[in-house]
Amino acid sequence: MDLIKRKGKLRSNATPYFFVAPAIILLIILMLVPIVMVIWYSFFDKVVVTKNSNFVGFANYVKVFQDDVFWTSVWNTTYYTIISVVFHLLLGLVFALMLNSDLIPSALRNIMRLLFILPWVLTVTIVAIVWRLLLSPDGIINYVLMGANIISEKYAWFSEIDLAMPALIFVNIWSGYPYYMVTLLAGLQGISKDYYEAATLDGCNGWQKFWYITLPQLKPILLSTSMLDIILTMRVFALVWTVTGGGPGTSTEVMGTYIYKDAFSRLDFARASTSSVIILILSMIISYFYIRLQKAKEE
């Protein structure tokens, strides 16, 4: 009797472990192990390509920090991220406010919303190739801008040092604003109508209502969406790699392309691992704040 009871208890104790095991084991093997590996690599030379690599201490870190291109890529990534995030937010907010208005019938609003989200579902490499066509020297955008006398010559948007980065950011803004639009729309629908009615009775105009009711109510969503967007936008690789490859020169080099080139063009896996560790630490710091923010919101 006692034995059966104990066996039963043992089984019920083991049950949850049985259920979480596949997820945890997979994530340990494919997450913890590679993180340890990449940190390990960053302290050795000639890793991955040869078997006999030597411990070099912080030499790889010194090499990375002394490389101007690394700092260029850090600056470009920061610039790309900040401008993208600001415009994602502005466009997303404007579209969300327009789509939330009850001046237009809700059926129309639903169709509009469906179409406005489209850029977000497209594969990055498809976004890249479509915009390469649109912004090519003979492309439709040059054609329209010249027709409207806004520009006087054809621009090769992605191949000119001064234009490549702004053009990439422009494309990224296009593909990223729907995320804000959707979360802000959900936020707007959550604001009680009572606030607006009370404000109308007090004689507030539309702008005042937006400034004193809408914006403060959206603040938590704006904050967490922007934080998440910063984290995700910093990861940029596919768009830059497939449109400009980091060029012309190093004008669009971002951290992702910098690491990729170190590894697969120069086969310097040790230095690439070192930059990976640096990115990893940076991301962890930003994510720490994001998770803390989310926690604070839950409490």
| Non-local CB neighbours of 89 within 8 Å, separated by 6+ positions | 180, 222, 225, 226, 229
Least Å distance, CB 286 to other proteins, is 8
Which span sits near other proteins by CB under 8 A: 2-10, 66-74, 156-164, 260-268?
A: 260-268
CA 86 from chain centre, in angstroms, equals 12
Which CB atom, from 199 or from 280, has the smaller least distance to other proteins? 280
215: contact with other proteins by CB under 8 A: no
Which CB atom, from 162 or from 267, has the smaller least distance to other proteins? 267
Report the distance separating Cα 153 and Cα 143, nearest Å: 10
By CB under 8 A, what part of segment 91-120 binds other proteins? 94-95, 98-99, 101, 103-104, 112, 114-120
Among 216, 217, 235, residue whose Cα is nearest residue 286: 235
Least Å distance, CB 232 to other proteins, is 9
Which CB atom, from 38 or from 163, has the smaller least distance to other proteins? 38
By CB under 8 A, what part of segment 50-69 binds other proteins? none
Report the distance separating Cα 262 and Cα 266, nearest Å: 5
269: contact with other proteins by CB under 8 A: yes
Q: What is the dihedral of CA 140, 141, 147, 151, to 10 degrees?
A: -140
242: contact with other proteins by CB under 8 A: yes
Question: Which of residues 145, 228, 247, 250 is near other proteins by CB under 8 A?
Answer: 228
**Which H or E element spans position 60?**
helix 59-65
Which CB atom, from 35 or from 215, has the smaller least distance to other proteins? 35
Which CB atom, from 55 or from 162, has the smaller least distance to other proteins? 55
Count H helices and E strands in the chain, helices first.
14, 0
DSSP conformational letter for 44: B
38: contact with other proteins by CB under 8 A: yes
Which CB atom, from 18 or from 55, has the smaller least distance to other proteins? 18
Report the distance separating Cα 134 and Cα 155, nearest Å: 12
* R_g of the chain, CA atoms, integer Å: 25
